[in-house]
A and B are shown apart, each in its own frame.
Chain A
Amino acid sequence: MLLYKTILASAILIMSLVVAMYSTLIERKMAGFFQDRLGPDRAGPWGLLQPLADGIKLFFKEEFMPNTADKFLYILGPSLTMFIACLISAVIPWGPDIVINGQTFSLQMADVNIGILYVFAIVSIGVYGIMIGGWASNNKYALLGAIRASSQMISYELAMSLSIIAIVMMTGSLSMRDIVNQQQGLNWNIWYQPLAFLIFLVCAFAETNRSPFDLPECETELVGGYHTEYSSMKLGFYLFSEYINMFISGAVMATLFLGGYHFPFIDKLGLSPNAFAFVSFLVLFAKITFFGFIFMWIRWTLPRFRYDQLMRLGWKALIPLAILNILITGVVILLNQ
């Protein structure tokens, strides 16, 4: 069992890393498409080796550390960001159980009965890496970027948690697996909770610091934001964790709202359990890819918010809407009893 869990954990970790690596290429290709140019196409066929070349470039760049930086915290910042980004994948059910030699294995690292709260906890401590890095750089732009990032993440966390409460009320469980299993076929949560889905999607953009919410690294005002003083692979970790976060938040959204690995008529195909698990996993992956596309589409379409607009949207629009959604859900549940 321990061996299986180790293999599964490594597989999930490698998968998130590879997906994050290739999302950088897809992102640049998409940017090229939106701006009517080709995008990277020099390294390998269709630029397929570009992420590898980028990685090698980042590794061999000069390591630079400011003289006045807090040495330990300066290194801790990017490491913590990367570590926390990889943690959420532990509670996501990647597919139904598989059978090897008559034993059933779960494709979920840990089926804790508080799965959703675990996601919230990791999201809420995700801000530490950015804050520590920005502060330890001892640079005013980095500090401003870190403060922006943290106030943005704190503000949008609230609306995010409130929007999920409606789902928890409908499901009656905090376990990710229960939530997925209640969305068999096309019985997805998005049909019942479109408002919650919209709020969660906007908050996911804000939490991953993606455009139009990328104020923490607003180049026109802050040089580079919280990672101004970082170079080499430490900078790479910050940039890379954004892509991991994007992948994982896509997975969380697919699990909570788009039925996870469920797909209509998939059980009518008459597949063996392992093939069924594999097809289900592919379905989940397709949904995550769809969210990845939305993330990139919006990034290359919309301009950045102004800071006061960001705060107004978070506190005066999303939070009241989320509370209203909880109220409506509660009334409907009461009336249906």
Chain B
Amino acid sequence: MFTNYIFYFLSILALYSGVMVLLSKKPIHSVLYLTMTFFAIGGHYILLNAQFLAIVHIIVYAGAIMVLFLFTVMLLNLNKEDSSPKHIWVKAAAIIAGFMLGMILIGVFRGYDLQIVQQPMESQIGLVKQLGRVLYKDYMLPFEVSSILFLTAMVGAVLLGKKEQI
């Protein structure tokens, strides 16, 4: 019963801060609300007994990516409220893109047989041992290929960021 209340609390927190990301006027507030959303989702992972996923989620998203976001927003000093009216084409493009993303999500969930997880606290899927076994036995090749992809992206970013000619 107690976990139910935590679930509702985390869900409301995630939805509220997710909406506030869009509604806040200052970019820094948006970034902080986004961080809060990630923490709420991390809490959901803990409710599913996926401690490893929860912690990695917080390290990667809240600890690394959002700190970089905050860092960039601070460096560029995007403090002023961006009130310049957007062009009508930009608005139309945004609406169409959002609509299409929504369609994809609906399509995905319609084709998927949603199940209610029984005894979520006893699930062993998210523990380190299970995850390691799945990653390094069943999905070895895709895992390594995606890490090469990351490395390439990193080298590319460093190369683009370099000022002097190579």
Contact = CB atoms under 8 A, between A and B. Distances in A.
Partners in one complex: yes
Interface of A: 70, 73, 112-114, 117-118, 120-121, 124-125, 127-128, 131-132, 135, 143, 146-147, 150-151, 154, 157, 174
Contact of B63 (A121, A132, A143): A121
Given A70-B28, A124-B64, 12 more contacts: A73-B32, A113-B127, A120-B55, A121-B58, A124-B58, A124-B59, A128-B35, A128-B67, A131-B67, A131-B74, A135-B74, A154-B71
A114 B71 contact: no
A113 to B, nearest CB: 7
A146 B35 contact: no
B55 A114 contact: yes
A120 B70 CA distance: 19
15 contacts: A112-B51, A113-B51, A113-B127, A117-B55, A124-B59, A128-B67, A131-B70, A131-B71, A143-B74, A146-B74, A147-B74, A147-B75, A150-B67, A150-B71, A174-B128
A193 to B, nearest CB: 21
B28 A135 contact: yes
A70 B28 CA distance: 11
B62 interface: yes
Contacts of B74: 131, 135, 143, 146-147
Contact of B55 (A73, A121, A131, A150): A121
A112 B128 CA distance: 11
Contacts of A112: 51
B51 A114 contact: yes
Nearest to B26: A70
A127 B64 CA distance: 10
A143 B71 CA distance: 10
Interface string B66-102: 0110110011000000000000000000000000000
Query: Of A118, A120, A121, which is in contact with the most chain B CB atoms at under 10 Å from its CB?
Result: A121
Interface size bracket, B side: 20 to 34
A151 B67 CA distance: 9
Given A113-B128, A125-B62, A135-B74, A118 B67 contact: no
A118 to B, nearest CB: 6
Contacts of A70: 26, 28
A217 B56 CA distance: 31
A240 to B, nearest CB: 23
Contact of A132 (B32, B52, B68, B127): B32
A252 to B, nearest CB: 16
Nearest to A124: B63
A19 to B, nearest CB: 26
A70 B51 CA distance: 35
B128 A124 contact: no
A113 B62 CA distance: 21
Contacts of A127: 67
* Smallest CB-CB A-B distances: 8 pairs: A124-B63, A117-B55, A121-B58, A121-B59, A114-B51, A121-B55, A114-B55, A114-B52
Q: Which among A117, A143, A151, A157 has the greatest number of chain B C-beta atoms within 10 A?
A: A117
B158 to A, nearest CB: 11
A330 B55 CA distance: 25
Nearest to B55: A117
B62 A124 contact: yes
Nearest to B52: A114
A262 to B, nearest CB: 24
A143 B77 CA distance: 10
B114 to A, nearest CB: 29
A330 B58 CA distance: 27
A124 B67 contact: yes
